[in-house]
Structure 1
Amino acid sequence: MSTNAITTQKVNFNVFRFNSDVDYLPYYEKYEMEVTSEEVVLDILNRIKWDHDGSFSYRRSCRHGICGACAIQVNGRQTLACKESMSDMVELFGNELTIEPQSKKRAVKDMIIDKGDFWEKHDAIKPYLISDVEEHPEHEHLVTPAEAEELNEADLCIQCGACHYACPVVEINDDFFGPAAFAKAYRFEADVRDDAHDERLQELHAEKQGLWDCVKCMECAEVCPKDVDPISKITSLHNMLFKEGVATSNVATRHAVGFKHSIARNGVLDEGGLVLYSEMAGIVKHVPVALKMFSKGKIVPPWGITKSDNLDEIKKLVASSSTAKF
């Protein structure tokens, strides 16, 4: 006899409602339900539609965490409804849960959003293999297990958009490609059969839309339901830009180089030196902020920096982990 007995608990749901055809502003409906320990978030969406309001709209398809259609937000956290246990949600947030679409400003009807921007960014990075393949090859193009491992599970992405709509840069910068597009770009940049490495990297290097506008907030890694870890792919693409000689001197690339030099030199980060190295001619505009940082001890003069006691070990780590020429 199983010891995992089914339990129930009362949960209050605050559900986003909006129909772009008739509503001027969105509103929220409240539902109180007894939720069992066996249910996932998608079960709740189904119950709202079947038992409370047949006009409630959302996307669903596979119910197995494969298609990515049912992605929504629970208490502001991007989640795949068919995969997320209600017990886990209650344990994380309590018995008051707010269910919303992935992006409220893109809402069309209830949980359904217009994902046009997501697919435009996805297509912009050429998410397909580009190779001059013979029409009638004599043998197949073999890929070794080691070469296949370089994809680092980037091909597991299901295009649910969770990382895209959790990204704060996507929210304020319409040109930014977004973490899902970068993860997809990495999937083909890491593929030894692809012949468009430089071309794709040039697009990823572009200011405002490209890799350097990522703020390293880690939100994409936190919300990805397939553990693709887009931020690690973004970091790898940064290294590719240098390794392939695509990176040019700008504020972003100098910031990366300056960060490495500062750690290698001191074992700790020299904030003032990093800004000076990155900005160069534009440093004057940062003087007021720099003075405030200096008064708070955030910036210290070069002669005041206390070097790490483990500087020799840190230098060895920097040297061993640097795979690209800076």
Structure 2
Amino acid sequence: MSETRKVTIKAFRFNAETDYLPYTKQYEMEVGKDDLILDLMNRIKWEHDGSFSYRRSCRHGICGACAIKVNGKAVLACKQNAIELLDLFDNDITLEPSSKKRAIKDMIIDKSDFWEKHAAIKPYVVADVEPHPTHETKQSISEFNNFLDSDLCIQCGACHYSCPALEVNPDFFGPAAFAAAYRFTVDTRDTAGAERLELTAQPSQGVWDCVKCYECAEACPKEINPIEKIGKLHNMQFEQGIAESNVATRHAEGFLRGMKKYGYLDEADIVTYSEGLLGAAKHIGTAMKMMKSGKIHWHSGVPFIDSIPKIKNLDEVQKLIEISQTNKL
């Protein structure tokens, strides 16, 4: 079996100073079993076109500079094996910037929105420290483990530019900022946790606009799982009395209401509970489709009509909820 494979690598090309529209160029090369995506980019620049531009630095997967996308899949170029992606995409791959609409030159993008949102949540320990302390500030192992690896974020932006919520809502902080907000809010040395929770509770920019698609978890090269930290921020807002009653928080409450009452998810009740009967009226088209498919019935969500069958051993589910629930909604 050959150790190399001759393939055609496509690359997104664009120079904001000279080009009206982006275009794609093709480069033929031999790709070995140990080649990384960064090796392919280096080869394009060194052997084919010296104007090809991208960011790189450490080559050890810790600086985050070389984050790009390959056929829409977020990768760190210095960690991703090229043959694996060639196999995944049937030898047809295109190197793309993390965000095409923010492209400056080829793989280089303007990350100012990422850094502004990251800075907004105060990604550092806020504390009054004596100018000449007499002892260090200690943390227990359990306190450190409570970070849940969120301190391993390298700010590559892979999750940020894979987030569909942020793509349609420029005010949204994004998963990387939320992971940082969680990391410093749970830090026992920090005193600005309530302020961060207030920021992440705001409509449009906060965690309640997350659509739970898990794209951030798929994109993260350090396996930090930002969606887990977003869920933790949800709970902390309730626990500390910061969450306000609105459509988003009542939607979260609606899930628990159904499980307590029936052991099932009550889709119709979630809508009427979170938005009210008048608000639910705008979803009538979707409701009709759900009725046709048998997902809900005409009386679903109507007050005073108990239309959902209860599961067996519902009392056991209710006991589990009572034991595990850490706060009152």
- Shorter-chain TM-score bucket reads over 0.9
The worse-fitting range, judged by mean Cα deviation, of 16-25 and 283-292 is 283-292
Question: Which of the residues 5, 9, 16 maps onto 1:20?
Answer: 16
Please name the residue that 1:287 is paired with. 284
Asked whether 1:10 is paired with 2:13, we answer: no
Q: 1:195-236, CA deviations, whole angstroms, 9 ceiling, x for partnerless residues?
A: 111111111100001000000000000010001100000000
Question: Which of the residues 311, 314, 318 maps onto 2:317?
Answer: 314
TM-score normalised by L of structure 1: 0.95
SS of equivalent residue, structure 1 residue 162 = coil
Question: Which of the residues 129, 145, 150 maps onto 1:149?
Answer: 145
Aligned residue type for 2:324: S
After superposition, the CA RMSD in angstroms is 1.5
Which stretches in structure 2 are left out of the alignment for 5+ residues?
none
Question: Which of the residues 321, 326, 329 maps onto 1:323?
Answer: 326
Asked whether 1:83 is paired with 2:86, we answer: no
Asked whether 1:50 is paired with 2:46, we answer: yes
The worse-fitting range, judged by mean Cα deviation, of 202-211 and 91-100 is 91-100
SS of equivalent residue, structure 1 residue 90 = helix
The CA distance in 2 between the partners of 1:11 and 1:320, in whole Å, is 58
Aligned residue type for 1:150: N
Please name the residue that 2:134 is paired with. 138
Aligned residue type for 2:145: E
TM-score normalised by L of structure 2: 0.94
The CA distance in 2 between the partners of 1:104 and 1:276, in whole Å, is 39
Provide the identity percentage: 58
Aligned residue type for 1:285: K
Aligned residue type for 1:213: D
Q: 1:229-284, CA deviations, whole angstroms, 9 ceiling, x for partnerless residues?
A: 00000000000000111001000000111111211221210000110111125223
Please name the residue that 1:232 is paired with. 228
Please name the residue that 2:69 is paired with. 73
SS of equivalent residue, structure 1 residue 35 = strand
Tell me if structure 2 keeps the 8 A contact 1:266–1:308: yes
Question: Which of the residues 207, 222, 227 maps onto 1:211?
Answer: 207
SS of equivalent residue, structure 1 residue 294 = helix
SS of equivalent residue, structure 1 residue 73 = strand
SS of equivalent residue, structure 2 residue 223 = coil
Please name the residue that 2:193 is paired with. 197
Q: Could you say if the C-alpha distance between residues 274 and 35 of structure 1 is closer, same or farther in structure 2, counting changes exceeding 3 Å?
A: same
Please name the residue that 1:188 is paired with. 184
Q: Could you say if the C-alpha distance between residues 310 and 45 of structure 1 is closer, same or farther in structure 2, counting changes exceeding 3 Å?
A: farther
Q: Could you say if the C-alpha distance between residues 315 and 29 of structure 1 is closer, same or farther in structure 2, counting changes exceeding 3 Å?
A: same
Q: Could you say if the C-alpha distance between residues 55 and 253 of structure 1 is closer, same or farther in structure 2, counting changes exceeding 3 Å?
A: same
The CA distance in 2 between the partners of 1:50 and 1:147, in whole Å, is 48
Which stretches in structure 1 are left out of the alignment for 5+ residues?
none
Please name the residue that 2:60 is paired with. 64
Alignment of 1:224-303 (within 5 A): 224-280=220-276, 281-300=278-297, 301=300, 303=306
Alignment of 1:30-45 (within 5 A): 30-45=26-41
How many residue pairs get aligned? The number is: 322
Post-superposition offset of 1:92: 1.8
The CA distance in 2 between the partners of 1:84 and 1:321, in whole Å, is 40
